[in-house]
Amino acid sequence: MSVIMTELHSRRILLGITGGIAAYKAAELVRLLVKAGFEVQCVMTEAAQHFIGAATLQALSGQPVLMQLWDEASGDGMDHIRLSREADAILIAPASANFIAKLAHGLADDLLSTLCLASACPLAVAPAMNKQMWDKPATQRNLEQIRQDGIPLFGPANGEQACGELGMGRMLEPETLLIELEALFQPKLLAGKQVMITAGPTYEPIDPVRGITNLSSGKMGYALARAAWEAGAAVTLVSGPTALATPPNVRMIPVTTAQEMHDAVMREIKKTDIFIAVAAVADYRVAHIAQQKLKKTQTAPTLTLEPNPDILAEVAALPKAPFCAGFAAETEKLSEHAQAKRARKSIPLIIANRAQEALGQDESTLILIDSSGSHALPRQAKLLSARQVIKHIASLL
């Protein structure tokens, strides 16, 4: 069995903070970036300093915050070149309408705009402004220009604004910006592909308040949805009931029963290039669902079950089947059962894990089984496992 190792990155982020009320969220963003293992260098514009103190950002990033282009303490006066060369990526969050205008036109009249112009690394922008400023033709023209220049826009969101108005221009939350930024570092192995993923448990009702379900949390399926989007795919997630937030930029179709999951998958499978069945689908459903809550009786009731459709097997048997990958959560004889499942469902890839170690956990230990044999992944966070699964699928396509 081959063993696939996890990649390690040293990742340095230059966080540019411009003048807008959303600058207060930059503190939380720095904290999350540092926690995620990034080295963070903050650079503020003059206007940003009216919204948040440099001491806060310095304490959280562990680095002095830089603000001046004309800094006498900087020996050669080349901070803008040094900073842009040291960064693996630049994120401007919040990016004001004024700063976006400067980026669109190549203006360089302060440290942050100058180092952006001097940069050679990826640059991304998280706009934040009042909805009228967002809607102005000048702003829209500038946004179009920076998009054409290859600068990704993270957000903004539609919603409540600091000024009390409602509309486009709210900066994405720091958690979402972190997810967007992480994606910049992932290779676009599935660019242009349509991916569909089933996730979570299903719930098969017995009566209006009771049902049959299982311990699947949905974490592995949601991690795969995020990893597939990071790899450049358009992702649809068909999910049973979970407590998880849908990853950003992933289209979510919520379902409850196996039959609903089956129907949602079949409606769209023709457009799908890659189908990954992660859901813990109930094999059986209750044959006659009681319309009213069942009453306790003297003798124990008997539930008659009938089989649910096997979604993965049905998709794999389609005349123009997408590339199919399935999961096998087993409590014993892991490889043996997984191999048998791969053959039974006629799929190119099955991913095996121990049910006791995987269900509901944040980490997983996966074994990828394909026609070339078994490939073991180390025990690691489900997102890291998911990225390796996506890489493996890309290599098999």
DSSP class of residue 271 equals G
Cα atoms in the Cβ-side hemisphere of radius 13 Å centred on 126: 29
| Interface positions with ligand C5P (CB under 6 A) | 198, 258, 277-279, 281, 283, 308, 310-312, 326-328, 341
Q: Minimal distance in Å, beta carbon 258 to ligand C5P? A: 6
Q: What does DSSP say about strands 2-3 and 12-17: parallel, antiparallel, or unpaired? A: unpaired
Q: Minimal distance in Å, beta carbon 204 to ligand C5P? A: 11
Q: Using the minimum distance from each CB to ligand C5P, give the nearer residue, 97 or 334.
A: 334
Q: Using the minimum distance from each CB to ligand C5P, give the nearer residue, 32 or 223.
A: 223
Q: Minimal distance in Å, beta carbon 326 to ligand C5P? A: 3
Q: Minimal distance in Å, beta carbon 202 to ligand C5P? A: 8
Q: Minimal distance in Å, beta carbon 164 to ligand C5P? A: 47
Pull the structure tokens for residue 173: 């939350």
SS (H, E, C) 15-82: EEECCCHHHHHHHHHHHHHHHCCCEEEEEECCHHHHCCCHHHHHHHHCCCCECCCCCCCCCCCCHHHH
Q: Using the minimum distance from each CB to ligand C5P, give the nearer residue, 165 or 283.
A: 283
Return the residue matching tokens 């190549």. Answer: 106
Phi, psi dihedral angles at 146 (to 5 degrees): -70, -30
Residue 335 C-alpha from the chain's centroid = 29
Q: Cα–Cα distance between 52 and 47 in angstroms, integer?
A: 10
Q: Minimal distance in Å, beta carbon 33 to ligand C5P? A: 35
Q: Using the minimum distance from each CB to ligand C5P, give the nearer residue, 20 or 201.
A: 201
Residue 46's identity, in one-letter code, is E
Q: Using the minimum distance from each CB to ligand C5P, give the nearer residue, 25 or 342.
A: 342
Catalytic one among 42, 116, 163, 324? 163
Burial class (CB in 10 A: 0-12, 13-18, 19+), 281: buried
Please, what's the largest Cα pairwise distance for the chain?
89
Pull the structure tokens for residue 319: 């005349």
Q: Using the minimum distance from each CB to ligand C5P, give the nearer residue, 219 or 341.
A: 341
Pull the structure tokens for residue 289: 């669902």
Pull the structure tokens for residue 144: 């179009």
State whether the Cα torsion 68-74-78-83 is positive or negative. negative
Q: Minimal distance in Å, beta carbon 325 to ligand C5P? A: 8
CB atoms within 10 A of CB 370: 18
Pull the structure tokens for residue 395: 């290599």
Strands (E), 173-286: 194-199, 204-207, 210-212, 234-239, 251-254, 274-277, 284-286
Q: Using the minimum distance from each CB to ligand C5P, give the nearer residue, 18 or 239.
A: 239
Residue 42 is among the residues annotated as catalytic for this protein: no
- Residues marked as catalytic: 163
